[in-house]
């Protein structure tokens, strides 16, 4: 070692002298205390009296960053200040050194340290407990209790603000906004709207509820409740966007439904003031004149402009499912059903149905339907018009309907078995649904296969001859065809032809609304020896009939 070198304490060394725990080795601390920036290495050796001890101690202290030659002392002090600021930022105690093994020079990064000094901030002299990595902040100490106590007023203030906000939401006078809400709904629905009650429920989430909403006239349309789960979306100006709205207990005429700007069926030149992204529906009833389709629930999906993209509805008992999509011509419908009845008082149940149609103002056009009912299949089309009362027209083909089930629904007193097929055309008009069906006028080209006519035995009447009535019994046949004209007053059967092996009959019949029967038939019975021809007249009140043969 150069005995003429003069060493001075670095900031770390100066701090180590004041804190006795920084250096615990006695020889190093003895030499560090004597370093004053004036005595050379040789003078320190002479003063302490042990040159080897002084030389080794100076080398270790220099490697540990506690001393530095006087020529580098100024730069060391500047770098030490920067290092102290960094340690303070990282939460380390002032003067603390990072863990051993990480070398960081105090000299200028662009200047290599001198070979003689090899100055480093890390080294053997640091005997204190190791400190964590400089880049990682120390774990946060628990919050002191005094500071926690100081935070109590702040926490209480926040809770008070929240409580005050809750009270404002609960007791805010929403009724004062009733005129604005009614005006907005009237603009959306294009009809006068009256809101019976406005209230806010908080749990489980804030919901603005509009109850007893009347749309249009007193008997036009009504909604039991409108629920808006995000009421704050109504605040501000411009177009409001509501993520979701729920309608509960809505009763809407079909024509009013078609007139809604939301459907976009009728052209509307202006933008909607409120855009709803999703519409949920419960207990919806749609009325077509006096005919009502009730207990519907489902979801309506919206486009970006707030108008309806499509809707999916179903009855509560899931017997009927409807998919609706607005078009310029009307609302296009796709219908699927299982075990659906046309009305609550209708005796006819459709085991399954698939249909497609178009809902227009004043009418419903069912372009095609395919239904399974009464043990067979019915396919056809149908038109219902309610612009002036109720009117309908339709046609259908019948395939293998069970005659016993058909007669139990439409003619309970007629005992007819077999499989019914044919072509049906019908039309009707009336004030309401029951009157509509009672006024039906239809034609049916019927064909019954492998059947039985119960209540009369035509073969026995022919064999007995004239003047001997036959009551009860039955007539079996392989094939029965007839052209039926059906009205509200009577059923007229023409071109009646019945065949069963050697037995055949042809003629006509009339059945009145009071179930009175009058029929004239020519019965033919062919045997191996002769042919029996006998006119037969069938009369009575269903189901009690008698057959009387005329003169041969």
CB 274 within 8 A of CB 281: no
Q: Please state, in angstroms and rounded to a whole number, the distance separating the CA atoms of residues 272 and 291.
A: 31
| pLDDT on residue 126 | 44
Tell me: pLDDT of 96 over 50: no
Decide: helix, strand or coil at residue 410: helix
| pLDDT on residue 474 | 92
Q: Please state, in angstroms and rounded to a whole number, the distance separating the CA atoms of residues 382 and 376.
A: 19
Asked which of 96-100, 332-336, 370-374, 437-441 is least confident by mean pLDDT, the reply is 96-100
> 80: how many CB neighbours lie within 10 A of its CB?
21
Higher pLDDT, 215 or 458: 458
Higher pLDDT, 224 or 269: 224
Tell me: pLDDT of 480 over 60: yes
Q: Please state, in angstroms and rounded to a whole number, the distance separating the CA atoms of residues 276 and 283.
A: 20
Prediction pTM value: 0.62
| pLDDT on residue 269 | 53
Tell me: pLDDT of 123 over 90: no
Q: Please state, in angstroms and rounded to a whole number, the distance separating the CA atoms of residues 473 and 455.
A: 5
Decide: helix, strand or coil at residue 89: helix
Decide: helix, strand or coil at residue 471: strand
CA distances in angstroms from 527 to 461, 506, 531, listed in the order given: 16, 18, 6
Q: Which of 298, 352, 348, 291 is nearest to 322 (CA)?
A: 298
Token pair in block for residue 160? 């008070």
In terms of DSSP H, where are the helices of 104-194?
Answer: 145-171, 178-189
Q: Please state, in angstroms and rounded to a whole number, the distance separating the CA atoms of residues 416 and 408.
A: 9
Higher pLDDT, 239 or 111: 239
Tell me: pLDDT of 106 over 70: no
Tell me what the mean pLDDT of segment 528-538 comes to: 87
Q: Please state, in angstroms and rounded to a whole number, the distance separating the CA atoms of residues 475 and 454.
A: 6
Tell me what the mean pLDDT of segment 373-388 comes to: 93
| pLDDT on residue 7 | 85
The answer to whether the bond into 333 is cis (omega within 30° of 0) is: no
- Find the angle CA(353)-CA(355)-CA(360) to the nearest 5 degrees: 140
Token pair in block for residue 528? 């191996």
DSSP state of 141: P
Composition of the chain by helix, strand, coil, percent to 5: 25, 45, 30
Tell me: pLDDT of 397 over 90: yes
| pLDDT on residue 81 | 58
Q: Please state, in angstroms and rounded to a whole number, the distance separating the CA atoms of residues 194 and 451.
A: 62
CA distances in angstroms from 23 to 9, 98, 123, listed in the order given: 14, 15, 12
| Percent of the chain clearing pLDDT 90 (strictly above) | 30
CA distances in angstroms from 84 to 130, 309, 426, listed in the order given: 17, 67, 101
Q: Which residues pair with 211 in a beta bridge?
A: 197, 225
| pLDDT on residue 82 | 60
Q: Please state, in angstroms and rounded to a whole number, the distance separating the CA atoms of residues 417 and 453.
A: 7
Average pLDDT over the chain, rounded to an integer: 78
| pLDDT on residue 83 | 59
Asked which of 214-218, 448-452, 482-486 is least confident by mean pLDDT, the reply is 214-218
| pLDDT on residue 88 | 53
Q: Please state, in angstroms and rounded to a whole number, the distance separating the CA atoms of residues 358 and 371.
A: 18
- Strands of 431-502, DSSP E: 441-454, 470-471, 474-486, 490-500
| pLDDT on residue 128 | 42
Half-sphere exposure of 354 (CA within 13 A, CB side): 2
Higher pLDDT, 201 or 322: 322
Tell me what the mean pLDDT of segment 530-550 comes to: 90
Tell me what the mean pLDDT of segment 519-536 comes to: 88
Q: How confident is the model at residue 23 (pLDDT cuts 50, 70, 90)?
A: low
Q: Please state, in angstroms and rounded to a whole number, the distance separating the CA atoms of residues 438 and 359.
A: 25
Half-sphere exposure of 30 (CA within 13 A, CB side): 14
Tell me what the mean pLDDT of segment 56-83 comes to: 72
CA distances in angstroms from 352 to 161, 227, 342, 372, listed in the order given: 59, 35, 12, 5
DSSP state of 412: T
Q: What is the pLDDT of residues 279-314, one digit of tens each?
A: 899 999 988 877 788 899 999 888 877 788 889 999
Tell me: pLDDT of 160 over 80: no
Residues making up the chain, counted from first to last: 552
Tell me: pLDDT of 267 over 90: no
DSSP state of 414: -
Q: Please state, in angstroms and rounded to a whole number, the distance separating the CA atoms of residues 491 and 511.
A: 5
Tell me: pLDDT of 375 over 90: yes
| Percent of the chain clearing pLDDT 70 (strictly above) | 74
| pLDDT on residue 436 | 85
Token pair in block for residue 144? 């002191």
Q: What is the pLDDT of residues 332-368, one digit of tens each?
A: 999 999 998 877 777 788 999 999 999 998 899 999 9
User: How is 208-258 classified by DSSP, letter by letter?
Assistant: EEEEEEEESSTTTEEEEEEEES-GGGG-SSS-EEES-EEEEEEEEEHHHHH
Q: Which of 251, 257, 206 is nearest to 227 (CA)?
A: 206
Tell me: pLDDT of 193 over 60: yes
Higher pLDDT, 411 or 381: 381
Q: What is the pLDDT of residues 481-520, one digit of tens each?
A: 999 999 988 999 999 999 998 899 999 999 998 999 999 9
| pLDDT on residue 333 | 94
Tell me: pLDDT of 523 over 90: yes
Asked which of 183-187, 490-494, 511-515, 547-551 is least confident by mean pLDDT, the reply is 183-187
CA distances in angstroms from 392 to 291, 384, 402, 406, 431, listed in the order given: 12, 4, 25, 21, 12
Half-sphere exposure of 275 (CA within 13 A, CB side): 14
Instruction: Delimit the domains of the chain by residue range.
Output: 1-139, 171-316, 341-443, 455-552
| pLDDT on residue 351 | 93
| pLDDT on residue 149 | 47
Tell me: pLDDT of 405 over 70: yes
CB 536 within 8 A of CB 462: yes
């Amino acid at each position: 070692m150069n005995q003429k070198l003069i060493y001075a304490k670095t900031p770390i060394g100066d701090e180590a002298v004041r804190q006795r725990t920084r250096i615990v080795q006695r020889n190093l601390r003895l030499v560090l205390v004597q370093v004053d920036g004036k005595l050379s290495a040789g003078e320190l050796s002479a003063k302490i009296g042990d040159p080897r001890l002084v030389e080794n101690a100076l080398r270790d202290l220099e490697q540990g960053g506690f001393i530095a030659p006087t020529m580098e002392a100024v730069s060391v002090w500047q770098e030490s200040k920067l290092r102290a600021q960094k340690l303070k930022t990282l939460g380390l105690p002032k003067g603390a050194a990072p863990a051993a093994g990480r070398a960081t020079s105090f000299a200028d990064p662009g200047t290599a340290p001198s070979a003689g000094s090899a100055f480093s901030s890390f080294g053997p002299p640091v005997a204190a407990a190791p400190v964590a990595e400089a880049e990682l902040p120390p774990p946060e100490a628990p919050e002191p209790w005094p500071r926690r106590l100081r935070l109590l007023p702040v926490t209480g203030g926040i809770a008070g603000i929240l409580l005050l906000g809750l009270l404002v939401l609960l007791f805010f006078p929403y009724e004062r906004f009733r005129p604005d809400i009614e005006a907005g709904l009237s603009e959306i629905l294009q009809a006068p709207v009256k809101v019976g009650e406005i209230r806010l429920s908080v749990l489980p989430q804030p919901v603005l509820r509009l109850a007893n909403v009347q749309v249009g006239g007193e008997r036009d349309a009504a909604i039991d409740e409108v629920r808006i789960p995000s009421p704050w979306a109504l605040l501000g100006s411009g177009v409001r966007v509501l993520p979701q709205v729920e309608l509960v207990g809505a009763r809407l005429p079909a024509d009013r439904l078609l007139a809604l700007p939301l459907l976009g069926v009728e052209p509307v030149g202006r933008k909607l003031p409120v855009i709803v992204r999703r519409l949920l529906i419960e207990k919806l009833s749609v009325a077509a004149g006096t005919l009502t389709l009730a207990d519907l629930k489902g979801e309506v999906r919206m486009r970006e402009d707030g108008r309806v993209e499509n809707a999916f509805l179903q009855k509560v008992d899931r017997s009927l499912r409807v998919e609706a999509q607005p078009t310029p011509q009307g609302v296009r419908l796709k219908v699927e059903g299982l075990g659906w009845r046309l009305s609550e008082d209708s005796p006819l149940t459709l085991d399954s149905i698939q249909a497609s149609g178009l809902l227009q103002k004043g009418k419903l056009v069912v372009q095609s339907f395919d239904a399974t009912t009464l043990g067979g299949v019915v396919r056809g089309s149908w038109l219902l018009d309610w612009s002036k009362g109720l009117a309908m027209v339709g046609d259908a083909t019948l395939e293998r309907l069970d005659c016993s089930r058909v007669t139990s629904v439409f003619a309970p007193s007629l005992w007819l078995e077999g499989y019914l097929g044919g072509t049906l055309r019908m039309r009707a008009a009336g004030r309401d649904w029951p009157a509509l069906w009672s006024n039906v006028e239809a034609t049916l080209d019927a064909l019954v296969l492998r059947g039985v006519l119960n209540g009369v035995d035509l073969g026995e009447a022919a064999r007995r001859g004239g003047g001997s009535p036959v009551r009860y019994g039955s007539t079996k046949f392989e094939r029965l065809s007839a052209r039926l004209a059906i009205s509200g007053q009577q059923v007229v059967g023409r071109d009646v032809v019945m065949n069963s092996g050697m037995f055949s009959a042809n003629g006509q019949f009339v059945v009145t609304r009071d179930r009175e029967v009058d029929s004239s038939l020519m019965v033919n019975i062919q045997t191996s020896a002769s042919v029996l021809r006998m006119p037969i007249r069938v009369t009575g009140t269903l189901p009690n009939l008698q057959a009387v043969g005329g003169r041969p």
